[in-house]
A and B are shown apart, each in its own frame.
Chain A
């Protein structure tokens, strides 16, 4: 059981470039989340989705976009990368109801130079 898979693990971008961070889960979870983790700041929610075709903003959505065309996949798009987006990005998923536990991927470390 792979759980939550994130690709790539590392990436360096130049200012103004764009990229998509991939996230896939094989647990048939309805809820999926994108967080960013900055030193000393904990995790901040960027976007989340409660099911295919439904997405909503979190605390820090500016500069990002998401889509959810399938239950399994929840990609995060950076259109015009900025140094402030240098961070570690985590994707998570959880089931509806049940134990309310979020399961996390291993993260993508992004540097924007």
Chain B
């Protein structure tokens, strides 16, 4: 069975500080890992993905994520948070051969001016 855990419902960070949004996963095969962002009253937007290769993945808007196989984690990071980064962030996983994504429950990021 596939599952994704986002242990923090809410993350608050001061503008200009680094941010981390945590994600761990459990799959029975090789994972495809994704981060999506959702702004109020909008659909989800793709941020970045890990399929294979370099464990550090860079994505949109200055975000990056590190794939850690031994810890089964895929934490989202950004060196310097902006107020405009405030949104709901979802981690998702798919395994090879599967047709759909499994999503975590989401983490609400608030960047405080």
Contacts and interface: CB of A to CB of B under 8 A. Distances in A.
Interface residues of A, number: 25
B43 A90 contact: yes
A101 B46 contact: yes
Best-surrounded residue of B36, B41, B90, B100 (most CB of chain A within 10 A): B100
Interface stretch (B62-70, B74-82, B102-110): B102-110
Interface string B13-51: 000000000000000000010101000011111100101
Interface residues of B, number: 21
B84 interface: no
Interface string A39-54: 0111111001010000
A105 interface: yes
Contacts of B90: 42-43
Given A90-B43, A101-B46, A40 B100 contact: no
Interface in A13-69: 31, 33, 35, 40-45, 48, 50, 56, 58
Given A35-B103, A40-B106, 17 more contacts: A4-B43, A31-B99, A33-B100, A40-B9, A41-B105, A42-B106, A43-B90, A45-B100, A48-B100, A56-B99, A58-B100, A92-B43, A100-B49, A100-B94, A102-B101, A106-B42, A107-B41
Interface of B: 9, 32, 34, 36, 41-46, 49, 51, 90, 94, 99-101, 103-106
7 contacts: A40-B105, A42-B103, A90-B43, A100-B49, A100-B94, A101-B46, A102-B44
